[in-house]
Amino acid sequence: MVSDKKKITNRRWDKDNMRSVSCRLRTEDAEQFKEYCAENGTTPAQFLKQYILKTLDDYYNNDSLGK
């Protein structure tokens, strides 16, 4: 069990260091996306986070950027 003091510390760290990214979809599209994720053993949040991190990694480590 996590202590109340640790919970407060974690919330403060999250507030200072984390941000949410979201989008709005039509209900049908959102439901299909949730189904797709479930069929592939992930959640929408996990899928989007991994996609974003891979996209950023590809972008910043791409030799065509002149790095």
H, E, C per residue of the chain: CCCHHHHHHHHHHHHHHCCCCCCCCCHHHHHHHHHHHHHCCCCHHHHHHHHHHHHHHHHHCCHHHCC
Tokens of 51: 């996609």
Amino acid at 29: D
> Domain extents for the chain?
43-67
pLDDT tens digits for range 51-62 = 999 999 999 998
pLDDT tens digits, 4-59 = 999 999 999 999 999 999 999 999 999 999 999 999 999 999 999 999 999 999 99
pTM of the model: 0.77
pLDDT the model gives residue 65: 54
